[in-house]
Amino acid sequence: MVNDSTRAYSVYISDENNSVQGSGVLFYAGGKSAFVFTCAHVVDGLEKIRLFILKEINAACDRYDVFCTEISSSQVVYSPLDEVRTDDAGTKTHTEDLAIIQLGKPESLEIPVTNFLITETYRNRPVYVQGYPNGVPDGRSPIEYLDCLHGCVVVNPADSNRFTIRMDNTFIDAGSRVYELEGLSGAPVWEDSEEVNGLLGVFTSAYGATALLSKTFVTKAQQLRSIMKERFGIVMKRKLEGIPEQDVAGSSGDPIVFNGEIQTEEKSENEKWIENQLVGLRCIIEDLKLQDAIDRAKELIADSKFASLSKESQKKGKQYLLYCYEIADMDAEFDALESDMRESGLIKEHDVLRQLTRSFMQKKFQETVVAAQHYIDTEDSTKSKTLLSFAKAFLLLAKAYTEQLPIEETIGVLLNEQEKFIYPTDEVEDEALVYQMIGYVYGEHYHDNVNAVRFLNRSYQIGYDNIVLESLGVAYYNLAVYDATDENGKIPDFRKIDQKALYKARECFLIIKEKADALFWAGTMRRIGLCVYNTFVFLHDNYRILTIYPDVKKYLTKLPADAWRDVEMKYAKVSAQKGEIDAEEFPHITEKDKSLLEAIARSSKCMSLIEDVTANVPTKQIRGLLEIANEITDTLNFLEIAVEKIEKSERVPVYVQMINLYGRGILMFGWNKKHKMESIYNCISDCDDTNLLEYMRNFIFEMDAPIEEAINRFKKMYESHKNIITWQELNHLYIRHGMFDKADAMYRELFSEHKELIAEGPEYAYRAFIDYVMLYRRDLKYALQCYLDAKESFKDTDIEGFWELELMFYVNSFNDPERFETERKHFVEKGLVTEEAYHRTAFIAYLTNLNNAKALEHYNYIRQYPHWQDSGTGMVVAKKEEIYFLNWMGVLKPGCRPSLDSMGEEKAGEVREKYKTETWHSVIGRQLKNQFRVKKSIAMDAWSLYQLAEMDALDDIQSLDYVYVSHITVTRLLEELSKTNNLKIRIILEYIQLSDNIHIYTAGFKAQLEVRNVARYHEFASTVAVAIEKDCVAVYGDPIVDDSIIEHFRNRIVRVNDLESLLAER
């Protein structure tokens, strides 16, 4: 269904003969010119271009007039960063597939100023594409063929100029998607939202030869802003996600109207060249790629054509480089370039704007006053009115500091009643700098964070300098912590922080982090690193605390000692939760701090052990684990001594952990220690965190109360507070008592019925749920679905990558073990994964791929780490993957007789006889046979491979194109080998290892979910998932028949004893 609010912006594009079809999006800002945005490949090579523009009469009745105009190729502007490549077949491709068509607006064409914004793109964002799939036949009205396709963003690389969407529409013919989508090239891709018309990009091309899985590429719209500004002087508004109109100063939501004249005079070839180069340079700067911009600017200045340019063009080129040096804090380079500009006659003394902004941001306010007053007082007929206005603004804003002037004598003088800058400027964009500085002064000097946010948002909307995101993030941060900050500038109570404002600060910082190159990010950290760091500390985002801390150490080298202690302790408290800490790494902390960190590390290690036992040991067996009980006792004894060495104000979390540990001892081992819990509670009873005290009282009550009464107490606490903290406490109660079905249900309700509880930080709730599912071995389908649904909230790719790798490990998906190894190493370096965990998971990845050499490399590491010892025999207890490997390598042999169900010659014969009694696979369907003739591929489980081995028939599959074996199947074969030392199984594993057509492969999360949602996920289920993803036959050998699998996937399954007749179809 088409969208009326954006329908009139859809333009149909063709050539003179209507042999080329494409779409575009109309943009009109006022004046004598209108513009159409489209793809470069749509109009490249056309001499004459026809545009069909809709003029709304009555949208509700689908009544539109059509205006047709014809323009020449000279009216098309391409991206200055575009490189046209031609392949051997003569097909052209554009690296930046954007084009802007400028057309004179005839007086007869009355169209309103277009009202849409450029918005950011995020994964999983709903979108729609509105254009002309298949084109428009000659003589027909375009409105009859305008269509709308809905979908969502699936991939959005921060370092790419395009993103990928998947369209949901089923009416597109699966066999000819590319043909049907041809007319959509250049069509606008809109944010699917009722709040705002947000343009995300232009539809570019299909994904693969058949628009595989309905995936298509979209070129991002951000570059359009730069080109429109640099080439035509027109400002296009933009907007951050989730920012309400009241957060923007002086904005009515109306579009920016262009009242100027677009320059049309003839330019020399050199002037055209420099104009193109500068537009490209601007695009790179706005993408926060500072090093690329510096390199390009240097190349530009060194070019022989540069010296022949006008002084104004040379000045502009060098000003871009000055800006880069300023943002990168490259002071020596800045001074040298400015000196060169003076010697060349490009400036008289200093670059005025750079001097004003640089001195102001370095807080050299008296220097700003002098520079601004000097420019105002200088008699110069060529003086820029914009620079003069800037000087007047900076003069007043700097005097707010030097003379302590009130708001009404500084900012109040600069704005009219509509909150618009009163002094004249050449362009709307120029006002953005003033609003940025006003916002800065509102927050930093006057501590009016509400207005700071409003003016910085206004600056972002109309400006092009993305460094405003730093100031905006800081403003939201200051707004968040204002009520929580005491008279000493400390934040003693995190609960008073405005989480909603803090989350908006997070969004600003993550946009910078995702886009910025290393040089820009270094400057960001030097300017606002503490705000960035503390934002994630107050959001309890441990991942980002651990990853940003090294940058804080690297770039904030001049902090005072007390600030360094604060930074180190925030990091160290999180790091200690991994169960170990080296306090000597932190030179600024005190001896009492070290005692606190050691207490956190020791208690965290013990709690992790308890969680591991709770998750993996049946409840009835836990009481027999005396070594766990002893570990809890030893930890409590350690904490009893340590707590006395800790600063009194820091003792509460240690006391809380002690209460938790005593409670676990009571629940797990029946200790009679409730009186100890009550005694420790008295030590924290004067704490002002009433919610914590209520929880502790309920937890102590839980120790000897009937479980239903304890549940009711926790439910009552949740109902009275209705926040995520009390929700978590109730959830943890269920987990402590092994009531996992109730804990599962709470998570499902949280994500469906109580989203308001996580509105201020959905990412953290999703991550907690995934962690819960993996730790407590819950049904992984929920974790996989949660990951796929929630990826758009993981705003940086490291977070998404971390959880993807975690899930890959738990579902035994190691299709690319080298990537798995490399990316996991990245998380070791960031302190998120221990060395032991890294080597063990990499060892498993290579073992299940039968890569003996790489598995041995990692095994040599993990064998050095401590292993449990059997208390009875004193023997080291190796984990099962180590046993599988040692057996596979021939170092170890089974120490007991195999079970009756193990793979063996006699058992295989019994199973083959059982096959003959089954009826569900008596006939191989014609569809399956036809499919196999086309695609000679199969996926096999362990028993099917073993049956072939027993019948000496493994070579029968040698002639197939592909034979897929899942990693779970390889694991099962290794397990059987470790039990039986069966030579036939060893032959199978070596056959898999050496055969070119056999591939060890695990299906992706989506294909797995197709199976997991209808059946228990066992070894053959993993084979079916592979068959679904690879669209091939699944060969079923396991003697245990899963009725759910058969019911839902019978049409692609054959029993291994029927494989011979299927192979005969070749």
Is residue 982 assigned to a domain? yes
Structure tokens at 136: 């428009």
**Which residues contact residue 508 at a Cβ distance below 8 angstroms, ignoring those fewer than 6 apart?**
240, 469, 470, 472, 473, 476
Residue 176's pLDDT is what? 39
pLDDT digits (tens, 9 = 90+) for 939-961: 999 999 999 999 999 999 988 99
pTM of the full predicted structure?
A: 0.79
Among candidate residues 672, 699, 726, the one where a domain is terminated: 699
Is residue 1048 assigned to a domain? yes
Is residue 929 assigned to a domain? yes
264 pLDDT exceeds 70? no
Phi, psi of 24 (to 5 degrees): -155, 180
Interatomic CA distance for residues 40 and 94, integer angstroms? 7
The two beta strands, 937-940 and 962-965, are parallel
Mean pLDDT of 393-416: 96
Return the bridge partners of 148, or none. 130
1037 pLDDT exceeds 90? yes
Is residue 362 assigned to a domain? no
Among candidate residues 676, 699, 722, the one where a domain is terminated: 699
Is residue 961 assigned to a domain? yes
CB distance 171 to 47 below 8 Å: no
Edge-to-edge order in the sheet of strand 1033-1036: 998-1000, 962-965, 937-940, 1033-1036, 1053-1055
**Which residues contact residue 571 at a Cβ distance below 8 angstroms, ignoring those fewer than 6 apart?**
545, 546, 549
Residue bearing the bigger pLDDT, 783 or 643 = 643
Mean pLDDT of 340-367: 90
**Which residues contact residue 662 at a Cβ distance below 8 angstroms, ignoring those fewer than 6 apart?**
636, 671, 673, 674, 676, 677, 680
789 pLDDT exceeds 80? no
Q: Report the CATH number at residue 100.
A: 2.40.10.120
CB distance 205 to 216 below 8 Å: yes
**463: closest CA among 431, 440, 418, 438?**
431
Residue 17's pLDDT is what? 84
Spacing of C-alpha 921 from chain mean position: 45
pLDDT digits (tens, 9 = 90+) for 492-536: 888 899 999 999 999 899 889 988 999 999 999 999 999 999 999
Residue 208's pLDDT is what? 39
pLDDT digits (tens, 9 = 90+) for 534-551: 999 999 888 889 889 999
- What is the average pLDDT value for the chain, to the nearest integer? 87
The two beta strands, 1033-1036 and 998-1000, are unpaired
Among candidate residues 222, 239, 256, the one where a domain is terminated: 239
H or E segment to which residue 619 belongs: helix 619-622
The two beta strands, 63-72 and 998-1000, are unpaired
CB distance 569 to 590 below 8 Å: no
Is residue 802 assigned to a domain? no
Interatomic CA distance for residues 1028 and 1045, integer angstroms? 12
Is residue 395 assigned to a domain? no
- Residue percentage of the chain with pLDDT more than 70: 92
314 pLDDT exceeds 90? yes
Distances (CA, A) of 997 to 446, 992, 1052: 71, 9, 20
**Which segment of 209-218, 314-323, 813-822, 1044-1053 scores lowest on mean pLDDT?**
209-218
CB distance 552 to 533 below 8 Å: yes
Mean pLDDT of 37-42: 92
Residue 172's pLDDT is what? 46
What angle is formed at CA 94 by the lines to CA 93 and CA 99, rounded to 5 degrees?
A: 130
What angle is formed at CA 284 by the lines to CA 29 and CA 363, rounded to 5 degrees?
A: 90
Instruction: Provide the H-helix boundaries in 761-920.
Output: 762-775, 780-790, 797-810, 817-829, 835-848, 852-862, 880-888, 905-917
CB distance 805 to 823 below 8 Å: yes
Mean pLDDT of 776-789: 83
Q: Is 559 helix (H, G, I), strand (E, B) or coil?
A: coil
Domain of residue 597: give its range: 561-699
H or E segment to which residue 76 belongs: strand 76-78
Helix axes 290-302, 311-327, angle to 10 degrees: 150
pLDDT digits (tens, 9 = 90+) for 426-464: 888 889 999 999 999 999 999 999 999 999 999 999 888
869 pLDDT exceeds 70? no
Number of domains in the chain: 3
Residue 209's pLDDT is what? 37
Residue 210's pLDDT is what? 35
Is residue 751 assigned to a domain? no
pLDDT digits (tens, 9 = 90+) for 215-247: 688 999 888 988 888 888 888 989 887 788 888
Interatomic CA distance for residues 694 and 472, integer angstroms? 38
pLDDT digits (tens, 9 = 90+) for 177-224: 444 566 788 999 999 887 778 999 999 875 433 333 346 889 998 889
**Which residues contact residue 424 at a Cβ distance below 8 angstroms, ignoring those fewer than 6 apart?**
385, 386, 389
Q: Given CA atoms 356, 360, 366, 369 in this order, what sign does their dihedral have? A: positive
Q: Report the CATH number at residue 1024.
A: 3.40.50.1010
